[in-house]
Amino acid sequence: MELRQLAYFVEVARLKNFTKAAERLRIAQPALSQQIKKLEQELGIKLFKRTGRGITLTEGGEQFFIGAEKILAEAQMAKDSVKGFINFPQGKIMVGALESLVQTRLPSLLTAFSKEHPGIKVFIRENTTEPLLEALKKGELDLALAHSEVIHTNTDLIPPKGLYSKPLYKDELVLVVAEGHPLEKRKTISIRELRDESFVSFKEGSGIRSQLLVTCNREGFEPLITYECASPRTLVAEGLGVSVLPRLMAESPGPSISILKLDPPLSRLVSVFYMEGRYLSPCAKAFLRFMESYFISEKEF
């Protein structure tokens, strides 16, 4: 058994697709399939099973995947240790982040991080929560800053299966309307009073959009979403609808709008996600530690 074979197996398992895995590994698909077959023969088990939608891991494959990731993590850790990267990390990391975060908190965080760790380059991929977590599972990201759902059992945060998360901060959500809107003079408003309003929302896969849908359904109606985009504030200012946004995003520079508190209040929890058991490079660990320290003063849990 070779480390190369383990790496091939793990890539196929993450992507659930031989063609995509071969493209990322930059090898021919027949060669990849041959290596996986040799690995199965050596282990004496089938690692993958074909389904109508592609391939999935067998029960034995799932167990082997856990061990394979640990072995690859330890091998990479040994390499980094020899190179001296553990104490003086240098390199690059890929971080997924919410679009609203990129527009508000992230620029100042990245500026501060680059001063403390000039040898680490941080590449940012913007998206909504669901695509970010899917990209993380596929190994396309080292870390993901995404919306967390709080399951109401002792208010514990339960991350999606296979992912580990650490809470970073909590955002108050507010309603924003255009200047001159009939609701402009209100200081607070409840979601149930918005059943006849048109909404400008984030794209599907957004945690805030999901939270809006759940809250409106709880009040007995489906919100009318007429526009969706990464920056709802701009369309709201043009009178194209109302929107629920993080307060910091609502108060950011831009066209004039009016901000109303929601009663009862709504908030979102933003966490950093990473894969359980998957190797985190010294660069990723440095960024993780920095973020936790950066946001610690904002925690209100």
Task: Look at residue 157 in the predicted model and tell me its pLDDT.
Answer: 42
Give the three-state DSSP class for 157.
strand
Mean pLDDT of 206-229: 92
Same domain for 202 and 77:
no
Task: Look at residue 300 in the predicted model and tell me its pLDDT.
Answer: 45
Task: Look at residue 85 in the predicted model and tell me its pLDDT.
Answer: 61
Same domain for 135 and 100:
yes
Is 76's pLDDT higher than 80?
no
Kindly report, residue by residue over 80-101, the tens digit of the pLDDT: 666 656 566 788 899 999 988 8
Same domain for 292 and 262:
no
Give the domain extent around 150.
91-169+271-298
Task: Look at residue 199 in the predicted model and tell me its pLDDT.
Answer: 97
Task: Look at residue 81 in the predicted model and tell me its pLDDT.
Answer: 65
Share of the chain above pLDDT 70, in %: 91
CA separation, residue 175 to residues 155, 240, 253, 254, 295 (Å): 25, 14, 17, 16, 24
Is 159's pLDDT higher than 80?
no
pTM, two decimals, is 0.71
Contact call for residues 107 and 135 (beta carbons, < 8 A): no
Same domain for 95 and 244:
no
The better pLDDT of the pair 72, 284 is held by 284
Type of residue numbered 293: S
Task: Look at residue 153 in the predicted model and tell me its pLDDT.
Answer: 33
Is 150's pLDDT higher than 80?
no
Q: Which of 40, 60, 83 is the last residue of a domain?
A: 83
Same domain for 143 and 282:
yes
Same domain for 145 and 17:
no
Instruction: Give the CATH number of the domain where residue 191 resides.
Output: 3.40.190.290
Instruction: Give the CATH number of the domain where residue 46 resides.
Output: 1.10.10.10
In total, the chain counts a number of residues equal to 301
User: Taking all residues of the chain, what is their mean pLDDT, rounded to a whole number?
Assistant: 86
Kindly report, residue by residue over 37-62, the tens digit of the pLDDT: 988 888 888 999 887 677 889 988 88
Kindly report, residue by residue over 2-33, the tens digit of the pLDDT: 888 888 888 888 888 888 889 888 899 889 99
Rounded to a whole number of angstroms, the CA Rg of the chain reads 23
Instruction: Give the CATH number of the domain where residue 123 resides.
Output: 3.40.190.10
Kindly report, residue by residue over 286-297, the tens digit of the pLDDT: 999 999 888 875
Same domain for 30 and 59:
yes
Contact call for residues 245 and 176 (beta carbons, < 8 A): yes
Mean pLDDT of 275-279: 81
Please name which of 298, 23, 30, 59 lies closest in space to residue 171, comparing C-alpha atoms: 298
Task: Compute the 3-state secondary structure of the chain and give helix, strand, coil in percent, each to the nearest 5.
Answer: 45, 30, 30
Same domain for 66 and 120:
no
Q: Which H/E stretch holds residue 1?
A: none
Same domain for 108 and 76:
no
Mean pLDDT of 119-140: 90
CA atoms of 53 and 129, how far apart (whole Å): 23
Q: Which H/E stretch holds residue 132?
A: helix 129-137
Same domain for 198 and 156:
no
Is 161's pLDDT higher than 80?
no
Total domain count, the chain:
3
Same domain for 143 and 289:
yes
Contact call for residues 167 and 271 (beta carbons, < 8 A): yes
Phi-psi region of 200 (alpha: psi -120 to 50; beta: other; left: phi over 0): beta
Same domain for 151 and 287:
yes
